[in-house]
Amino acid sequence: MPVVGEFSRRRWQGPKQMYEIEHRYIVKDSFKPSVADSDCICIEQGFLSLDPLVRIRVTNVDSHGILTTKLGHGIKRIEVEGKIPLYVATDYLEDLVTVEKNRYSVIVGSQHWEVDIYTGRLTGLVIAELESDSVVPPQLLPQWVYPYPITEEPWFTTKTLLEHTGEELLRLQGRFLKRREAEAASYKS
């Protein structure tokens, strides 16, 4: 397997660094990708590091690979990423536990959402992500997401995605939704 540093000097196309401020939500069963949504992108990801403060991810996206480093935790993190040759990404992914998903780009008003429909052992899990500088008020969220952000939920981390099946995560998700809906009902009364 090639050394990553070797490609950072010779073939790295990037890197691109930015702060990433992401908000993740559970998608309701009513969501169905439409023809109006962008083409589906098939993604396979494996993780070289799962350290809570420094995560390193290799992604195979259709015709190229991406090496991503995320620094920090929570909603706002530094993200550095760059393209790597597809064969390098494929070599790394052969040795890693991977997550597979189909990603749809969905525009709602001025918001650009990415909806990940997980496949393989995580089939059934559907998560939407929005990169935004601020929290989106519930009334501005699309009707196909639950109004409870899961970005900082301990049951929804990269590590849990790698260690659990879709069925197990859906049970955790169900408990989370029941708890949040009970909390919302208690505030109303």
CATH of the domain at 42: 2.40.320.10
Q: Quote the CA–CA distance of 138 and 143 in Å, as a whole number.
A: 10
From CA 4, how far away is CA 12, in angstroms rounded?
A: 9
The residue range of the domain holding 35 is 4-188
User: Each residue of 54-112: pLDDT tens digit?
Assistant: 778 888 887 889 998 888 777 788 888 899 999 999 998 998 889 999 999 998 888 89
Q: How many domains does the chain have?
A: 1
Parallel, antiparallel or unpaired: strands 13-27 and 76-84: antiparallel
Model pTM score = 0.83
Between CA 79 and CA 71 the distance in angstroms is 6
Q: What's the pLDDT tens digit per position in 32-49?
A: 877 555 578 889 999 888
Q: Alpha-carbon Rg of the chain, whole angstroms?
A: 17
Residue-level pLDDT at 179: 93
Tokens describing residue 13 = 């196309």
φ and ψ of 56, to 5 deg: -120, 125
